[in-house]
Amino acid sequence: KQWYQRRVRAPPLNVDPDVYAKEKEFFGIKKEREVAVFIPEGDGSDGIDCVNSCRMKVHNFLQDPRSSSLAAVWHGFDIFFICISIGFLVFESEPKFKKQFTDKNETYYVPLFIINCIIMGFFTTDFLIRLVTWPSLLEFWKNLFNVLDILSILPFYVNLLVGSSDGEEAAGETANKQHYVVLRVCRIFRIVRIFKFVRHSRDLLIIMKAVSNAKRELILLVCLLFIFVITFGSIMYYIEANANKDFDSIMKSCWWVIVTITTVGYGDMYPTSAGGKLFGGFVLTLGIVFLALPMTIIVSKFSFVYEREKM
């Protein structure tokens, strides 16, 4: 005899309540009235329980490197392949090594391509297993890291498709331009691979959660910055427009305000009139105070959330 979960959730009598609660949370089962339901043997529920149990174990294996020694090895390989993938991305932009990654006639093209295929095969396998074992498909796509994973994998396969179509078609000038644009976009998306590191660091995950909890303060900071830049950029434009050709539009003046209040000071444009210099000093001083007010709130809240999550 055994206990089985139907529309009315019923915990088995021989299962620890904490374990049962974790399983309900894993499979997204909402809190409902719990009633003991008797189900006779041989109804096939053993197979369902076994599949759910295996899914949960595999899910924990991929999510938590501390779940087993094999999980630690898997996560170690993931980090190793991420490092190599980012290294390929960087060296591919170097003029001396670029042909080794793009020209099939070069000596090291084939070995590098094979290594890249192995890495992408590992990433694809990891992604597909996560997709299959995730408790809810909708929740899977709500997870930011899963979206980043698919964005980091797709460029490789799109690149293969574009490359194969180049070999099959009579490449006209228009087709070459379209393929070039597609490849450029794909290479940009390869940058998101670096964010795969965040999944393997608890401290980075805590920082992201702390930033998320301070989103209201960050929105306030952006709003204040927007108001400040537009207001003082417009004023500086009307002060310097006739005396300085660098301030020939409000957009350029806003750029000067951003560079000034962030204390970067590129020196690419600066006021030359007496009124412009006086107003520039006022903008710099007021900008520091203006930005310091919300920053203190953000830092204090960030510290509070960070310490709370670490505990």
pLDDT at position 33, please?
A: 43
- pLDDT at residue 128, as a whole number: 94
What pLDDT, on a 0 to 100 scale, did the predictor assign at position 115? 94
Measured at the CA of 125, the angle between CA 119 and CA 131, to 5 degrees, comes to 140
Q: What is this structure's pTM?
A: 0.66
Q: What local confidence, expressed as pLDDT, does residue 178 receive?
A: 61
Give the residues of the chain that fall short of pLDDT 50: 1-9, 32-44, 167-173
Q: Give the residue carrying structure tokens 């020196």.
A: 267
Q: Say if residues 37 and 4 touch (Cβ distance below 8 Å).
A: yes
pLDDT score of 180: 64
Check residue 303 and give its pLDDT.
80
Give the list of residues 6+ apart from residue 158 with CB closer than 8 angstroms, or none.
182, 186
Q: How many angstroms separate the CA atoms of 204 and 192, rounded?
A: 15
pLDDT one-digit tens code per residue, 222-238: 888 899 899 999 999 99
